[in-house]
Amino acid sequence: MKNILVVNGPNLNMLGIREPAIYGRQTYADLLAYIREAASALSLNVTCFQSNSEGELVTAIQQAYGKMDGIVINPAAYTHTSVAILDALKAVALPAVEVHLSAVETREAFRQVSYAGMACEKTITGKGFAGYQEALAYLAQRV
């Protein structure tokens, strides 16, 4: 069975509360249940990690080296600011897929640059929770 790390960045723990018009009313616990069910259906072992701290996200990515077969990452706001997350993804050199719940490409201009995406094989936006299932399915075929 392949091992996939799912990394979620800042404010994703506030799903259901934070801007429900953009992110919906489902909670972070709902997202975790969705991810685990999708991974199980694909015969993947999944480890989920969420932090509001850039350094903790970098550490989680680094610790995936030699243990995980791929990474699904929603860096959230760090998408547009974190060279450190980009460098961590490049350092571990695991197949990675970037996911965003909203269609970031249709939002504010500052959301148009994705540093993390530069180290990812694929980016999925605007599909809500289903984007995670698509990312897991891609990695199930890829790794």
Q: Kindly tell me if the per-residue pLDDT of 10 is higher than 80.
A: yes
> pLDDT tens digits, residue range 116-130?
999 999 999 999 999
Q: Which one of 28, 78, 100, 115 is the catalytic residue?
A: 100
Q: CA angle, 75 as apex, 71 and 78 as ends, to 5°?
A: 145
Selection from 106, 103, 8, 122 nearest residue 57 by Cα: 8
Is position 23 annotated as part of the catalytic site? yes
State the pLDDT at residue 41.
98
Four-point Cα dihedral 115, 57, 18, 33, nearest 10: 110
State the pLDDT at residue 30.
98
Classify 59 as helix, strand or coil: helix
Is position 100 annotated as part of the catalytic site? yes
Selection from 18, 23, 20, 59 nearest residue 131 by Cα: 23
Continuous segment of H or E residues that includes residue 21:
helix 20-23
- Whole-model pTM over 0.85: yes
Q: CA angle, 5 as apex, 106 and 109 as ends, to 5°?
A: 15
pLDDT-above-90 percentage for the chain? 84
Q: Which one of 23, 28, 78, 132 is the catalytic residue?
A: 23
CATH code that applies to domain 2-102+113-142: 3.40.50.9100
